[in-house]
């Protein structure tokens, strides 16, 4: 994308009150970045790794010793990262003296959560790719004291854009839905409160707002469930219970139709009565089909 010197200078003048020196430095930096982009510079000399979910700063050391499956025999085999020796497999290091191994053993040292390894350090990169602390390794394990992943800027930015698009698509779906009955049913299914902080029912505008907010915060679940048949079945079951058309107290661990109506099913755990009844209505059995038909006839 072309950027003129005038545009760059204007942007700096609007946002940088630090004086001519800082302005000049930032201008030079901006122009350098622009030049690099326009030249298509893609040279890569290092691979970068980042610790997972840790607030710990400073140095973190991960041992250069691990046990992983041998790619040929599939048996658990030790790998040891050493300076001055090409192979990381201990079976290839059997002729090395204990003193050499002790003096040249390496660890992976993260500085402020980051580890940068030059591409020429093939031994370290081989170790990293298969060790159990790497969450992208085929041998990964949650039991590792410290876990890390490779920081791939291109992949990270692609994933971030994918998430951004998913959010926008979900928000559009929420805001474009004008059938408020469908919105209320979906809100009920997703567990979205349909009252304000004081307990007053939300208006259609208020409901559309919280519906869109949920779509933004949980785009995957929103889009996965918006056309699910579970939404209507869940609504029918919950409304039947709220309207006292289903009696859960006549007999212990039993659901019956109210006002002397017939037996529906056994409910092993009364706290999960709604879930049991939804599951029953979704079954393609005679009992399930009959219950669903009764719901559709009795619940409005």
Band the pLDDT of 250: cuts 50, 70, 90.
confident
Regarding whether 22 and 55 lie in a shared domain, the answer is no
First-to-last alpha carbon distance for the chain, in angstroms, is: 58
Q: Are 106 and 95 in contact (CB under 8 A)?
A: no
Regarding whether 265 and 212 lie in a shared domain, the answer is no
Regarding whether 256 and 208 lie in a shared domain, the answer is no
Alpha carbon of 247 to those of 83, 243, 255, 275, 282: distances in Å? Answer: 74, 10, 6, 15, 20
pLDDT at 56: 76
Band the pLDDT of 84: cuts 50, 70, 90.
very high
Q: Are 175 and 212 in contact (CB under 8 A)?
A: yes
**Mean pLDDT of all residues in 183-206:** 95
Percentage of the chain exceeding pLDDT 70: 86
Regarding whether 238 and 211 lie in a shared domain, the answer is no
Alpha carbon of 97 to those of 93, 101, 104, 107, 174: distances in Å? Answer: 9, 6, 11, 19, 68
Band the pLDDT of 85: cuts 50, 70, 90.
very high
Q: Is the dihedral of CA 147, 153, 156, 160 positive or negative?
A: positive
Regarding whether 146 and 168 lie in a shared domain, the answer is no
Lowest mean pLDDT among 23-37, 48-62, 260-274: 23-37
Q: Are 230 and 278 in contact (CB under 8 A)?
A: yes
Regarding whether 244 and 192 lie in a shared domain, the answer is no
**pLDDT tens, 97-133?**
999 999 999 999 999 999 999 999 999 999 999 999 9
**Mean pLDDT of all residues in 41-62:** 82
The count of structural domains within the chain is: 4
Report the Cα 221 to chain-centroid distance in Å: 12
Cα-based torsion angle of the residue sequence 196, 200, 206, 208 in order, rounded to the nearest 10 degrees: 90
Provide the residue range defining the domain that includes 29: 5-39
Residue 155: Cβ within 10 Å count: 10
pTM: predicted TM-score of the whole model, two decimal places: 0.60
Regarding whether 249 and 187 lie in a shared domain, the answer is no
């Amino acid at each position: 994308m072309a950027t003129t010197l005038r545009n760059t200078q204007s942007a700096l003048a609007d946002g940088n009150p630090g004086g001519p020196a800082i302005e000049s430095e930032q201008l030079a930096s901006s122009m350098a970045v622009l030049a690099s982009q326009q030249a298509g510079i893609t040279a890569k000399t290092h691979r970068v790794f980042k610790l997972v979910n840790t607030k710990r700063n400073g140095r973190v050391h991960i041992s250069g010793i691990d046990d992983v499956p041998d790619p040929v025999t599939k048996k658990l085999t030790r790998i040891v990262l050493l300076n001055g020796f090409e192979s990381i497999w201990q079976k290839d290091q059997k002729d090395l003296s204990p003193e050499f191994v002790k003096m040249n053993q390496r660890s992976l040292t993260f500085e402020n959560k980051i580890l940068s390894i030059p591409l020429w350090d093939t031994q370290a990169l081989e170790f990293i790719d298969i060790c159990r602390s790497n969450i992208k390794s085929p041998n990964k394990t949650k039991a590792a004291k410290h876990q890390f992943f490779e920081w791939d800027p291109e992949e990270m930015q692609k994933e971030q854009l994918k998430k951004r698009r998913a959010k926008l698509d979900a928000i559009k779906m929420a805001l474009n839905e004008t059938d408020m009955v469908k919105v209320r049913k979906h809100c009920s299914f997703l567990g979205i409160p349909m009252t304000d902080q004081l307990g007053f029912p939300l208006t259609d505008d208020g409901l559309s707002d919280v519906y869109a907010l949920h779509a933004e915060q949980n785009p995957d679940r929103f889009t996965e469930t918006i056309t699910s048949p579970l939404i209507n079945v869940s609504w029918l079951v919950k409304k039947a219970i709220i309207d006292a058309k289903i009696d859960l107290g006549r007999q212990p661990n039993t659901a019956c139709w109210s006002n002397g109506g017939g037996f529906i099913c056994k409910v092993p755990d009364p706290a999960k009565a709604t879930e049991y009844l939804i599951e029953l209505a979704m079954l393609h059995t005679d009992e399930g089909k009959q219950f669903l038909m009764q719901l559709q006839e009795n619940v409005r």
